[in-house]
Structure 1
Amino acid sequence: MNKTIQTKRDTIIPATIFLILYAAWAILVASENQFIHEFDRTVINIICNNNPILIKFATVFTNLGNTNVIMVETILLVIVLALFKKFAYAFFTAGTMIAANGYNWIIKHAIARHRPFTHHLVAAHGYSFPSGHSVGSATLFGILIVLTILLVKNKAAKTVLCIVWACFPILIGYTRIFSHVHYPSDVVGGFLEGIAFLLIGYSFLYHYYLEIRAQENSLV
Protein backbone atom coordinates (compact mmCIF):
# COMPACT_ATOMS: atom_id res chain seq x y z
CA MET A 1 0.00 0.00 0.00
CA ASN A 2 1.19 3.52 -0.81
CA LYS A 3 2.73 5.12 2.28
CA THR A 4 0.93 8.43 1.68
CA ILE A 5 -2.44 6.69 1.52
CA GLN A 6 -1.63 4.77 4.71
CA THR A 7 -0.65 7.88 6.68
CA LYS A 8 -3.77 9.71 5.52
CA ARG A 9 -5.88 6.84 6.77
CA ASP A 10 -3.97 6.84 10.05
CA THR A 11 -4.93 10.48 10.71
CA ILE A 12 -8.25 11.01 8.93
CA ILE A 13 -10.03 7.77 9.91
CA PRO A 14 -9.76 8.35 13.72
CA ALA A 15 -11.01 11.93 13.23
CA THR A 16 -13.96 10.68 11.17
CA ILE A 17 -14.81 7.99 13.72
CA PHE A 18 -14.94 10.47 16.61
CA LEU A 19 -16.91 12.95 14.51
CA ILE A 20 -19.50 10.26 13.77
CA LEU A 21 -19.62 9.18 17.41
CA TYR A 22 -20.13 12.79 18.48
CA ALA A 23 -22.88 13.34 15.89
CA ALA A 24 -24.68 10.16 16.98
CA TRP A 25 -24.40 11.13 20.64
CA ALA A 26 -25.71 14.65 19.93
CA ILE A 27 -28.70 13.20 18.07
CA LEU A 28 -29.50 10.91 21.01
CA VAL A 29 -29.35 13.86 23.42
CA ALA A 30 -31.37 16.19 21.18
CA SER A 31 -34.07 13.53 20.71
CA GLU A 32 -34.20 12.91 24.49
CA ASN A 33 -33.56 9.23 23.92
CA GLN A 34 -34.36 6.92 26.84
CA PHE A 35 -30.83 5.51 26.78
CA ILE A 36 -29.46 8.99 27.57
CA HIS A 37 -31.84 9.38 30.50
CA GLU A 38 -30.81 6.01 31.92
CA PHE A 39 -27.13 6.76 31.33
CA ASP A 40 -27.35 10.11 33.12
CA ARG A 41 -29.28 8.67 36.05
CA THR A 42 -26.86 5.77 36.53
CA VAL A 43 -23.70 7.89 36.40
CA ILE A 44 -25.13 10.59 38.68
CA ASN A 45 -26.05 7.97 41.28
CA ILE A 46 -22.47 6.64 41.18
CA ILE A 47 -20.66 10.00 41.26
CA CYS A 48 -22.69 12.46 43.30
CA ASN A 49 -22.65 12.51 47.11
CA ASN A 50 -22.44 14.93 50.05
CA ASN A 51 -18.83 14.30 51.02
CA PRO A 52 -17.50 17.74 52.11
CA ILE A 53 -13.96 17.02 50.90
CA LEU A 54 -15.19 16.07 47.44
CA ILE A 55 -17.52 19.08 47.36
CA LYS A 56 -14.60 21.38 48.13
CA PHE A 57 -12.41 19.72 45.51
CA ALA A 58 -15.10 19.82 42.84
CA THR A 59 -16.06 23.44 43.40
CA VAL A 60 -12.42 24.58 43.27
CA PHE A 61 -10.96 22.29 40.59
CA THR A 62 -13.82 22.94 38.17
CA ASN A 63 -12.55 26.52 37.77
CA LEU A 64 -9.58 25.19 35.75
CA GLY A 65 -12.05 24.50 32.95
CA ASN A 66 -13.68 27.93 32.95
CA THR A 67 -13.80 29.58 29.53
CA ASN A 68 -11.63 32.52 30.63
CA VAL A 69 -9.03 30.23 32.19
CA ILE A 70 -8.88 27.98 29.11
CA MET A 71 -8.61 31.07 26.90
CA VAL A 72 -5.71 32.49 28.91
CA GLU A 73 -3.93 29.12 28.95
CA THR A 74 -4.39 28.81 25.19
CA ILE A 75 -3.05 32.32 24.52
CA LEU A 76 -0.02 31.68 26.74
CA LEU A 77 0.66 28.36 24.99
CA VAL A 78 0.44 29.99 21.55
CA ILE A 79 2.79 32.79 22.66
CA VAL A 80 5.33 30.30 24.04
CA LEU A 81 5.24 28.26 20.84
CA ALA A 82 5.68 31.41 18.75
CA LEU A 83 8.61 32.57 20.88
CA PHE A 84 10.33 29.25 20.21
CA LYS A 85 9.50 29.69 16.50
CA LYS A 86 7.19 26.68 16.48
CA PHE A 87 4.74 28.57 14.27
CA ALA A 88 3.02 25.51 12.78
CA TYR A 89 2.29 24.21 16.27
CA ALA A 90 1.05 27.65 17.33
CA PHE A 91 -1.38 27.76 14.40
CA PHE A 92 -2.46 24.20 15.17
CA THR A 93 -3.18 25.14 18.79
CA ALA A 94 -5.04 28.38 18.01
CA GLY A 95 -6.98 27.01 15.06
CA THR A 96 -8.10 23.85 16.82
CA MET A 97 -9.23 25.72 19.94
CA ILE A 98 -11.12 28.36 17.94
CA ALA A 99 -12.87 25.73 15.81
CA ALA A 100 -13.82 23.49 18.74
CA ASN A 101 -15.13 26.25 20.99
CA GLY A 102 -16.82 28.12 18.16
CA TYR A 103 -18.68 25.02 17.06
CA ASN A 104 -19.56 24.27 20.68
CA TRP A 105 -21.31 27.64 20.97
CA ILE A 106 -23.32 26.90 17.83
CA ILE A 107 -24.39 23.40 18.86
CA LYS A 108 -25.30 24.57 22.39
CA HIS A 109 -27.82 27.02 20.96
CA ALA A 110 -29.03 24.58 18.33
CA ILE A 111 -29.90 21.85 20.85
CA ALA A 112 -30.74 24.27 23.70
CA ARG A 113 -30.74 21.66 26.44
CA HIS A 114 -31.48 22.99 29.91
CA ARG A 115 -29.11 22.32 32.76
CA PRO A 116 -30.07 19.84 35.52
CA PHE A 117 -33.02 21.08 37.52
CA THR A 118 -31.30 20.77 40.88
CA HIS A 119 -29.18 22.91 43.19
CA HIS A 120 -25.93 23.89 41.48
CA LEU A 121 -22.81 23.89 43.65
CA VAL A 122 -21.13 26.44 41.35
CA ALA A 123 -22.44 29.22 39.14
CA ALA A 124 -23.37 28.10 35.63
CA HIS A 125 -25.08 29.92 32.80
CA GLY A 126 -26.32 29.09 29.33
CA TYR A 127 -27.35 25.77 27.88
CA SER A 128 -26.14 22.38 29.01
CA PHE A 129 -25.09 20.30 25.98
CA PRO A 130 -22.25 19.88 25.32
CA SER A 131 -20.27 20.82 28.42
CA GLY A 132 -18.08 23.76 27.46
CA HIS A 133 -15.64 22.89 30.24
CA SER A 134 -15.31 19.37 28.80
CA VAL A 135 -14.88 20.58 25.22
CA GLY A 136 -12.30 23.21 26.17
CA SER A 137 -10.28 20.99 28.50
CA ALA A 138 -10.37 17.92 26.23
CA THR A 139 -9.20 20.01 23.28
CA LEU A 140 -6.52 22.01 25.12
CA PHE A 141 -5.03 19.14 27.09
CA GLY A 142 -5.32 16.93 24.02
CA ILE A 143 -3.24 19.52 22.18
CA LEU A 144 -0.72 19.39 25.02
CA ILE A 145 -0.54 15.61 24.65
CA VAL A 146 0.12 15.95 20.91
CA LEU A 147 2.77 18.63 21.50
CA THR A 148 4.40 16.54 24.23
CA ILE A 149 4.60 13.50 21.94
CA LEU A 150 6.06 15.58 19.10
CA LEU A 151 8.43 17.85 21.02
CA VAL A 152 9.58 16.09 24.20
CA LYS A 153 12.48 13.71 23.58
CA ASN A 154 12.82 12.02 26.98
CA LYS A 155 10.51 8.99 27.01
CA ALA A 156 9.95 8.98 30.78
CA ALA A 157 9.08 12.70 30.83
CA LYS A 158 6.86 12.24 27.80
CA THR A 159 4.92 9.42 29.46
CA VAL A 160 4.46 11.28 32.76
CA LEU A 161 3.34 14.49 31.05
CA CYS A 162 0.85 12.68 28.83
CA ILE A 163 -0.71 10.98 31.87
CA VAL A 164 -0.92 14.31 33.72
CA TRP A 165 -2.49 16.08 30.72
CA ALA A 166 -5.04 13.26 30.30
CA CYS A 167 -6.10 13.49 33.96
CA PHE A 168 -7.11 17.16 33.76
CA PRO A 169 -10.13 16.89 31.41
CA ILE A 170 -11.31 13.72 33.14
CA LEU A 171 -11.27 15.45 36.53
CA ILE A 172 -12.84 18.61 35.15
CA GLY A 173 -15.62 16.57 33.57
CA TYR A 174 -16.13 14.80 36.89
CA THR A 175 -16.47 18.11 38.73
CA ARG A 176 -19.13 19.33 36.28
CA ILE A 177 -21.29 16.31 37.04
CA PHE A 178 -20.56 16.38 40.78
CA SER A 179 -21.45 20.09 40.96
CA HIS A 180 -24.85 19.35 39.32
CA VAL A 181 -24.31 21.85 36.49
CA HIS A 182 -24.11 19.23 33.74
CA TYR A 183 -25.56 15.85 32.92
CA PRO A 184 -23.01 13.06 32.37
CA SER A 185 -24.11 12.95 28.72
CA ASP A 186 -23.09 16.62 28.41
CA VAL A 187 -19.59 15.74 29.54
CA VAL A 188 -19.32 12.72 27.24
CA GLY A 189 -20.54 14.87 24.35
CA GLY A 190 -17.95 17.50 25.22
CA PHE A 191 -15.16 14.93 25.27
CA LEU A 192 -16.23 13.45 21.93
CA GLU A 193 -16.43 16.89 20.34
CA GLY A 194 -13.09 18.00 21.75
CA ILE A 195 -11.30 14.82 20.63
CA ALA A 196 -12.89 15.02 17.17
CA PHE A 197 -11.66 18.58 16.64
CA LEU A 198 -8.26 17.69 18.08
CA LEU A 199 -7.88 14.87 15.55
CA ILE A 200 -9.10 17.08 12.70
CA GLY A 201 -6.59 19.74 13.72
CA TYR A 202 -3.83 17.15 13.92
CA SER A 203 -4.72 15.89 10.43
CA PHE A 204 -4.09 19.38 9.06
CA LEU A 205 -0.86 19.70 11.06
CA TYR A 206 0.35 16.34 9.80
CA HIS A 207 -0.48 16.75 6.13
CA TYR A 208 0.49 20.41 5.76
CA TYR A 209 3.58 20.45 7.98
CA LEU A 210 4.88 17.24 9.54
CA GLU A 211 4.63 15.13 6.39
CA ILE A 212 6.18 17.84 4.21
CA ARG A 213 9.03 18.36 6.69
CA ALA A 214 9.67 14.62 6.83
CA GLN A 215 9.85 14.46 3.03
CA GLU A 216 12.27 17.40 2.94
CA ASN A 217 14.50 15.79 5.57
CA SER A 218 14.55 12.54 3.63
CA LEU A 219 15.95 14.39 0.61
CA VAL A 220 18.82 15.93 2.55
Structure 2
Amino acid sequence: MKIKSLTNMQWIGCITLVLFLGLASIVKFQLGLLHPFDQTITDFVRSDYPNWNTFFVTITKFGDPISIGLISIIVFSFLYLKKFKRAAIWFASGVIGISTIGNSVLKLIFMRERPTLEHLVTEHTYSFPSGHSTGSMVVYGMILLLLPLVVKQKSLRFILQFALALLILGIGTSRIYSGVHYPSDVLGGYLFGLSWLLLSYPIYKGVHHE
Protein backbone atom coordinates (compact mmCIF):
# COMPACT_ATOMS: atom_id res chain seq x y z
CA MET A 1 0.00 0.00 0.00
CA LYS A 2 1.38 3.38 -1.01
CA ILE A 3 1.77 5.84 1.85
CA LYS A 4 0.98 9.41 0.85
CA SER A 5 3.27 12.19 2.05
CA LEU A 6 1.98 14.78 4.46
CA THR A 7 0.35 17.89 3.05
CA ASN A 8 1.57 21.37 3.95
CA MET A 9 -1.42 21.73 6.24
CA GLN A 10 -0.52 18.52 8.04
CA TRP A 11 3.10 19.60 8.47
CA ILE A 12 1.82 22.75 10.17
CA GLY A 13 -0.46 20.53 12.22
CA CYS A 14 2.57 18.55 13.36
CA ILE A 15 4.20 21.80 14.48
CA THR A 16 1.13 22.91 16.45
CA LEU A 17 0.92 19.46 18.04
CA VAL A 18 4.58 19.63 19.10
CA LEU A 19 3.94 23.12 20.51
CA PHE A 20 0.95 21.78 22.44
CA LEU A 21 3.00 18.89 23.84
CA GLY A 22 5.75 21.31 24.83
CA LEU A 23 3.28 23.60 26.59
CA ALA A 24 1.63 20.62 28.27
CA SER A 25 5.00 19.43 29.56
CA ILE A 26 5.66 22.83 31.11
CA VAL A 27 2.21 22.84 32.74
CA LYS A 28 2.86 19.38 34.16
CA PHE A 29 6.45 19.72 35.31
CA GLN A 30 7.54 23.39 35.32
CA LEU A 31 4.36 25.37 35.90
CA GLY A 32 6.17 28.32 37.44
CA LEU A 33 7.80 29.12 34.11
CA LEU A 34 4.41 30.20 32.75
CA HIS A 35 3.72 32.78 35.44
CA PRO A 36 5.25 35.80 33.62
CA PHE A 37 3.44 34.92 30.39
CA ASP A 38 0.11 34.30 32.10
CA GLN A 39 0.35 37.40 34.27
CA THR A 40 1.29 39.72 31.40
CA ILE A 41 -1.51 38.56 29.11
CA THR A 42 -4.08 38.50 31.91
CA ASP A 43 -3.21 42.05 32.96
CA PHE A 44 -3.56 43.21 29.37
CA VAL A 45 -6.90 41.48 28.72
CA ARG A 46 -8.38 42.64 32.04
CA SER A 47 -6.92 46.16 31.88
CA ASP A 48 -10.39 47.70 31.44
CA TYR A 49 -12.16 45.36 33.88
CA PRO A 50 -15.12 45.52 34.73
CA ASN A 51 -16.32 47.71 31.84
CA TRP A 52 -16.48 44.77 29.42
CA ASN A 53 -18.17 42.29 31.75
CA THR A 54 -21.47 42.06 29.87
CA PHE A 55 -19.77 41.71 26.48
CA PHE A 56 -17.39 38.94 27.47
CA VAL A 57 -19.95 37.03 29.55
CA THR A 58 -22.15 37.00 26.44
CA ILE A 59 -19.33 35.92 24.13
CA THR A 60 -18.21 33.11 26.42
CA LYS A 61 -21.67 31.51 26.19
CA PHE A 62 -21.02 30.66 22.54
CA GLY A 63 -18.33 28.26 23.72
CA ASP A 64 -20.15 26.57 26.60
CA PRO A 65 -21.17 22.89 26.35
CA ILE A 66 -24.86 23.64 25.76
CA SER A 67 -24.22 26.07 22.90
CA ILE A 68 -21.54 23.88 21.34
CA GLY A 69 -23.79 20.85 21.70
CA LEU A 70 -26.82 22.49 20.09
CA ILE A 71 -24.77 23.94 17.23
CA SER A 72 -23.08 20.59 16.68
CA ILE A 73 -26.41 18.75 16.47
CA ILE A 74 -27.77 21.30 13.99
CA VAL A 75 -24.66 21.21 11.79
CA PHE A 76 -24.38 17.42 11.87
CA SER A 77 -28.07 17.01 11.01
CA PHE A 78 -27.79 19.51 8.15
CA LEU A 79 -24.72 17.81 6.69
CA TYR A 80 -26.26 14.36 6.97
CA LEU A 81 -29.64 15.34 5.50
CA LYS A 82 -27.91 17.16 2.63
CA LYS A 83 -26.03 13.93 1.82
CA PHE A 84 -22.66 15.30 2.94
CA LYS A 85 -22.19 12.14 4.95
CA ARG A 86 -18.40 12.05 5.03
CA ALA A 87 -18.37 15.67 6.17
CA ALA A 88 -20.90 14.77 8.86
CA ILE A 89 -18.72 11.90 10.08
CA TRP A 90 -15.62 14.11 10.16
CA PHE A 91 -17.54 16.79 12.03
CA ALA A 92 -18.93 14.34 14.59
CA SER A 93 -15.52 12.75 15.18
CA GLY A 94 -14.04 16.15 16.02
CA VAL A 95 -16.86 17.14 18.34
CA ILE A 96 -16.98 13.83 20.20
CA GLY A 97 -13.38 12.69 20.04
CA ILE A 98 -11.50 15.95 20.53
CA SER A 99 -13.79 18.64 21.93
CA THR A 100 -15.66 16.36 24.35
CA ILE A 101 -13.69 13.24 25.28
CA GLY A 102 -10.17 14.36 24.44
CA ASN A 103 -10.30 17.66 26.28
CA SER A 104 -11.96 16.09 29.33
CA VAL A 105 -9.26 13.42 29.57
CA LEU A 106 -6.52 16.05 29.32
CA LYS A 107 -8.04 18.05 32.17
CA LEU A 108 -7.89 14.96 34.38
CA ILE A 109 -4.27 14.33 33.41
CA PHE A 110 -3.05 17.84 34.24
CA MET A 111 -5.50 18.77 37.03
CA ARG A 112 -4.47 22.43 36.94
CA GLU A 113 -6.41 24.61 39.36
CA ARG A 114 -8.19 27.66 37.99
CA PRO A 115 -7.02 31.24 38.65
CA THR A 116 -7.90 32.79 42.00
CA LEU A 117 -9.34 35.90 40.33
CA GLU A 118 -13.01 36.78 40.65
CA HIS A 119 -14.93 34.46 38.32
CA LEU A 120 -17.66 36.03 36.19
CA VAL A 121 -19.00 32.58 35.31
CA THR A 122 -19.25 29.38 37.32
CA GLU A 123 -16.89 26.51 36.51
CA HIS A 124 -16.28 23.22 38.33
CA THR A 125 -13.67 21.40 36.23
CA TYR A 126 -9.91 21.78 35.98
CA SER A 127 -8.26 24.55 34.02
CA PHE A 128 -5.86 23.10 31.39
CA PRO A 129 -6.61 23.01 28.54
CA SER A 130 -9.53 25.39 28.19
CA GLY A 131 -12.57 23.43 27.04
CA HIS A 132 -14.19 26.52 25.56
CA SER A 133 -11.07 27.23 23.54
CA THR A 134 -10.75 23.66 22.31
CA GLY A 135 -14.46 23.41 21.55
CA SER A 136 -14.65 26.69 19.69
CA MET A 137 -11.55 25.92 17.64
CA VAL A 138 -12.82 22.47 16.72
CA VAL A 139 -16.50 23.20 16.11
CA TYR A 140 -16.36 26.68 14.62
CA GLY A 141 -13.12 25.78 12.87
CA MET A 142 -14.73 22.79 11.15
CA ILE A 143 -17.71 24.92 10.15
CA LEU A 144 -15.28 27.46 8.72
CA LEU A 145 -13.58 24.77 6.64
CA LEU A 146 -16.85 23.20 5.51
CA LEU A 147 -18.49 26.45 4.38
CA PRO A 148 -17.43 25.95 0.71
CA LEU A 149 -19.85 23.01 0.58
CA VAL A 150 -22.86 25.26 1.00
CA VAL A 151 -21.73 28.87 0.41
CA LYS A 152 -20.56 29.26 -3.18
CA GLN A 153 -20.30 33.06 -3.24
CA LYS A 154 -16.68 33.80 -2.34
CA SER A 155 -17.25 37.22 -0.80
CA LEU A 156 -20.02 35.98 1.49
CA ARG A 157 -18.01 32.91 2.40
CA PHE A 158 -15.01 35.07 3.32
CA ILE A 159 -17.16 37.28 5.55
CA LEU A 160 -18.61 34.27 7.35
CA GLN A 161 -15.21 32.65 7.77
CA PHE A 162 -13.74 35.87 9.10
CA ALA A 163 -16.64 36.18 11.57
CA LEU A 164 -16.06 32.60 12.76
CA ALA A 165 -12.37 33.30 13.25
CA LEU A 166 -13.19 36.37 15.33
CA LEU A 167 -15.67 34.34 17.37
CA ILE A 168 -13.01 31.73 18.15
CA LEU A 169 -10.61 34.46 19.23
CA GLY A 170 -13.32 36.21 21.25
CA ILE A 171 -14.30 33.07 23.14
CA GLY A 172 -10.72 32.39 24.19
CA THR A 173 -10.24 36.00 25.27
CA SER A 174 -13.48 35.87 27.25
CA ARG A 175 -12.16 32.97 29.33
CA ILE A 176 -9.17 35.05 30.42
CA TYR A 177 -11.25 38.16 31.04
CA SER A 178 -13.81 36.16 33.03
CA GLY A 179 -11.07 35.01 35.40
CA VAL A 180 -11.64 31.29 34.87
CA HIS A 181 -8.57 30.50 32.76
CA TYR A 182 -4.93 31.36 32.45
CA PRO A 183 -3.78 32.49 28.97
CA SER A 184 -1.72 29.29 28.73
CA ASP A 185 -4.95 27.29 29.22
CA VAL A 186 -6.50 29.10 26.27
CA LEU A 187 -3.36 28.67 24.18
CA GLY A 188 -3.33 24.98 25.02
CA GLY A 189 -6.96 24.58 23.96
CA TYR A 190 -6.32 26.42 20.71
CA LEU A 191 -3.22 24.35 19.88
CA PHE A 192 -4.97 21.08 20.71
CA GLY A 193 -8.01 21.90 18.59
CA LEU A 194 -6.00 23.42 15.75
CA SER A 195 -3.77 20.35 15.57
CA TRP A 196 -6.84 18.22 15.02
CA LEU A 197 -8.13 20.50 12.27
CA LEU A 198 -4.84 20.70 10.40
CA LEU A 199 -4.05 17.00 10.65
CA SER A 200 -7.51 15.61 9.90
CA TYR A 201 -8.92 18.01 7.31
CA PRO A 202 -6.60 16.87 4.48
CA ILE A 203 -7.60 13.27 5.24
CA TYR A 204 -11.27 14.19 4.93
CA LYS A 205 -10.59 16.19 1.75
CA GLY A 206 -8.66 13.28 0.27
CA VAL A 207 -11.50 10.81 0.59
CA HIS A 208 -14.73 12.82 0.42
CA HIS A 209 -16.97 12.60 -2.62
CA GLU A 210 -19.47 15.38 -1.98
Both proteins in one fold, TM over 0.5: yes
1:150, distance to aligned residue in structure 2 (A): 4.7
Spell out the pairing of 1:35-46 with structure 2 (5 A cutoff).
35-46=33-44
Q: Which amino acid in structure 2 is aligned with residue 72 of structure 1?
A: L
Inter-partner Cα distance in structure 2 for 1:149 and 1:130: 30
Spell out the pairing of 1:131-150 with structure 2 (5 A cutoff).
131-150=130-149
Inter-partner Cα distance in structure 1 for 2:4 and 2:150: 25
1:35, distance to aligned residue in structure 2 (A): 3.6
1:14, distance to aligned residue in structure 2 (A): 2.2
Is the Cα contact below 8 Å between 1:62 and 1:176 reproduced in 2? yes
Q: Does residue 70 of the first structure (1) align with residue 68 of the second (2)?
A: yes
Instruction: Please name the residue that 2:86 is paired with.
Output: 88
1:151, distance to aligned residue in structure 2 (A): 4.2
Identity percentage over the alignment? 32
Spell out the pairing of 1:106-185 with structure 2 (5 A cutoff).
106-185=105-184
Inter-partner Cα distance in structure 1 for 2:9 and 2:196: 12
1:33, distance to aligned residue in structure 2 (A): 3.9
Is the Cα contact below 8 Å between 1:30 and 1:111 reproduced in 2? yes
Inter-partner Cα distance in structure 1 for 2:163 and 2:45: 22
Inter-partner Cα distance in structure 2 for 1:151 and 1:199: 21
Inter-partner Cα distance in structure 2 for 1:155 and 1:73: 23
Distance 1:28 1:150, change over 3 A: farther
1:97, distance to aligned residue in structure 2 (A): 1.4
Instruction: Please name the residue that 1:218 is paired with.
Output: none
1:170, distance to aligned residue in structure 2 (A): 0.5
Q: Which amino acid in structure 2 is aligned with residue 174 of structure 1?
A: T
Is the Cα contact below 8 Å between 1:99 and 1:197 reproduced in 2? no
Q: Does residue 24 of the first structure (1) align with residue 17 of the second (2)?
A: no
Distance 1:186 1:83, change over 3 A: same
Q: Which amino acid in structure 1 is aligned with residue 182 of structure 2?
A: Y
Q: Which has the larger radius of gyration?
A: 1
Comparing 50-59 with 110-119, greater Cα deviation is found at 50-59
Unmatched 5+ residue regions in structure 1? 214-220
- Structure 1 or 2: more helix by fraction: 1
Is the Cα contact below 8 Å between 1:95 and 1:201 reproduced in 2? no
1:175, distance to aligned residue in structure 2 (A): 0.7
Is the Cα contact below 8 Å between 2:127 and 2:181 reproduced in 1? yes
Question: Which secondary structure state, in structure 1, belongs to the residue aligned with residue 7 of structure 2?
Answer: helix
Inter-partner Cα distance in structure 2 for 1:207 and 1:17: 21
Is the Cα contact below 8 Å between 1:109 and 1:127 reproduced in 2? yes
For residues 65-118 of structure 1, give each alpha carbon's deviation from its aligned partner in whole angstroms, at most 9, with x where no partner exists. 101210111111000111111111111110111121211111100000000012
Question: Which secondary structure state, in structure 1, belongs to the residue aligned with residue 166 of structure 2?
Answer: helix
For residues 27-56 of structure 1, give each alpha carbon's deviation from its aligned partner in whole angstroms, at most 9, with x where no partner exists. 112223444111100001111145444011
Inter-partner Cα distance in structure 2 for 1:38 and 1:93: 37
TM-score for the superposition, normalised by structure 2: 0.91
Unmatched 5+ residue regions in structure 2? none
Inter-partner Cα distance in structure 2 for 1:87 and 1:5: 24
